[in-house]
Amino acid sequence: MPYELYYWDGLQGRGEFIRLALEDAGADYIDIAREDGPERGIDAMMKVLKSKSERHLPFAPPFLKDGDMIISHVANILFYLGPKLNLAPSDENQRIFANGLQLTITDFVAEVHDTHHPIATTQYYEDQKEAAKLRSKDFIEHRMPKFLDYFERVLHRNPDGKAHTIGKSLSYVDISLFQIFEGLRYAFPRATANLAKDYPALQALHDTVGNRPNIKAYLRSERRLDFNTSGIFRHYPELDQSA
Amino acid sequence: MPYELYYWDGLQGRGEFIRLALEDAGADYIDIAREDGPERGIDAMMKVLKSKSERHLPFAPPFLKDGDMIISHVANILFYLGPKLNLAPSDENQRIFANGLQLTITDFVAEVHDTHHPIATTQYYEDQKEAAKLRSKDFIEHRMPKFLDYFERVLHRNPDGKAHTIGKSLSYVDISLFQIFEGLRYAFPRATANLAKDYPALQALHDTVGNRPNIKAYLRSERRLDFNTSGIFRHYPELDQSA
């Protein structure tokens, strides 16, 4: 039975971290909200969110259905899928470490979101633009380097070599870091101009992931939407500045 | 060997979710940064954060040491500790559901933090007060009810009864929801005036947790710091308003 991914159509968003892992593994999955037909489309997703009978009610997309199970939150979905997709360490303690890294990525992504929505998700960007400029400035000057420095150090600290964050094999954490690099470069081209120089191990990891055959095929497919100003990573020139 | 909790001294903060679980279980733990002596105090915490040899480097406090293991992030620490403290469901799929709920609490806590720091964690509240007022208004009108409605529904949806979020027994998620209620009432007394009426199942769960002998003893002890304006939940009257 294929996995069912539930996430908004029209943007990469948080769902993209799940898609990339499923695609890399060549897993059989249905991107429910993006397909037509019965039990498909946004309505099918809203039906679960508003269900009066579902025991494991999700708070928000993305969520994953695997048979009867519903799993919510990106990090939780990846923690659950990791071993099944062969994208997690076999050692249980290492999987806990991977989960901690993914939760740091979760925090980073939330901060990226808040660069354009620092006041209210219920309001348009245009109505919070001045606060967004202030928050983006702080993000570029303090937060982005703090997070990237950390992940660069994690790679250098891996006793099995800096090619991966954990052990000798690719994990879902590595794939998520690829997406972080992609997203930051789209949203903040000026601030990220020196990323390759400043974060060589992250850059190398990004290239490793981007060159994996299934990822390459996915990125060229229609399933990979372009970044746009509906997603988490948004390019508004007025929020960007040199690092 | 006792667990070692690493978190800032002087505030409840995110560390409190871990403390409450450890205290409820009567677990043997050392609150490293709050104690004096060799390998104690804030310096001992900073030493781990700045370590050049630690493999499993944390991004930020809180983190937990269990023997050689370092576990980062509140939800990850509770996921790890849950079964050991008898505060998690025995069923693996239910533990994944618990983790999803805890991650929703994580997001809620991050939004509470951003009510007083919507622009920059590196700046004082006073320097972002106007943005904080806007964000708090949105939080009180939209976000707080959205999260609380969700958890109230989760309680009502539990096939084993609304006394607990998962199954028939207390879990770390229940304990975290107790702390959410406590924190919201301190930070936003006007906005939370009708919490008991609007969220009866959450209120009952709060009371159940608060009446557990170990929790009661902890709350009366010197180990439980008062809420203050250094923590996640901060009371600034100008940010509060009737719901």
Name the band, by pLDDT with cuts 50, 70 and 90, for residue A53. confident
CA distance B141 to chain A (A): 10
Closest partner residue to B96 (CB to CB) among A57, A76, A104 is: A76
Model pLDDT for residues B217-233, shown as the tens digit of each residue: 999 999 999 999 999 99
B162 contacts in A (CB within 8 Å)? Answer: none
Rounded percentage of chain A residues whose pLDDT exceeds 90: 98
For chain B, domains (ranges, CATH) are 3-84 (3.40.30.10), 92-212 (1.20.1050.10)
CB contact under 8 A, A120 and B104: no
Confidence of residue B137 (pLDDT cuts 50, 70, 90): very high
Q: Find chain A residues with C-beta within 8 A of B143's C-beta.
A: 121
* A159 neighbourhood in chain B, CB within 8 Å: 55
Tell me how far apart the alpha carbons of residues B139 and B155 are, in angstroms, rounded to a whole number: 22
For A173-223, the pLDDT digits (tens) are: 999 999 999 999 999 999 999 999 999 999 999 999 999 999 999 999 999
Q: Binning pLDDT at 50, 70 and 90, where does residue B243 land? A: confident
Residue A49 has pLDDT above 90, yes or no: yes
Over residues B235-240, the mean pLDDT reads 98
Of A100, A119, A121, the CB nearest to B118: A119
Dump pLDDT digits (tens) for A8-42. 999 999 999 999 999 999 999 999 999 999 999 99
Closest in B70, B131, B150 to A59, CB measured: B150
Q: Find which of A53, A55, A77, A141 to mutate to test the B interface (most B CBs within 10 Å of its CB).
A: A55
Inter-chain CB proximity B80 and A57 less than 8 Å: no
Is there a contact between A93 and B69 if contact means CB atoms under 8 Å apart? yes
Question: In the predicted model, is pLDDT for residue B82 greater than 90?
Answer: yes
pLDDT confidence bin for B53, thresholds 50/70/90? confident
CB < 8 Å to B122, chain A: 138, 142
Q: Name the residue among B57, B103, B138 with its Cβ closest to that of A75.
A: B103
Three-state SS string over chain A comes to CCEEEECCCCCCCCHHHHHHHHHHCCCCEEEHHHCCCCCCCHHHHHHHHCCCCCCCCCCCCCEEEECCEEEECHHHHHHHHHHHCCCCCCCHHHHHHHHHHHHHHHHHHHHHHHHHCCCCCCCCHHHHHHHHHHHHHHHHHHHHHHHHHHHHHHHHHCCCCCCCCCCCCCCHHHHHHHHHHHHHHHHCCCCCCCHHHHCHHHHHHHHHHHCCHHHHHHHHCCCCCCCCCCCCCCCCHHHCCCC
CB contact under 8 A, B131 and A119: yes
Q: Do B58 and A93 touch (CB under 8 A)?
A: no
Residue of B nearest to A66 (CA): B93
Share of chain B above pLDDT 90, in %: 98
Encode pLDDT of A79-112 as tens digits: 999 999 999 999 999 999 999 999 999 999 999 9
What mean pLDDT, rounded, does chain A reach? 97
Asked if A69's CB is within 8 angstroms of B76's CB, the reply is no
pLDDT tens per residue across span B96-109: 999 999 999 999 99
- Best residue in A80, A96, A160 for a mutation probing chain B (most B CBs within 10 Å): A96
Tens-digit pLDDT profile for residues A62-74: 999 999 999 999 9
The pLDDT value given to residue A243: 86
pLDDT at B180 exceeding the cut of 90? yes
Mark A49-68 as b/e (b = at least 16 C-beta within 10 Å). Answer: eeeeeeebbbbebbbbbbee
Chain A residue numbers with beta carbons less than 8 Å from the beta carbon of B103 are 72-73, 75-76, 106
Q: Report the pLDDT value the prediction gives residue B197, as an integer from 0 to 100.
A: 97
- The C-alpha angle A230, A101, A175, rounded to 5 degrees, equals 55
Alpha-carbon distance A25 to A243, whole Å? 35
Residue A136 has pLDDT above 90, yes or no: yes
Whether residues A58 and B107 touch (CB distance < 8 A) is answered with no
Q: Which residues of A touch B96 (CB under 8 A)?
A: 69, 71, 76, 79-80
Peptide bond into A62 cis (omega under 30): yes
| ipTM exceeding cut-off 0.95 for this assembly | yes
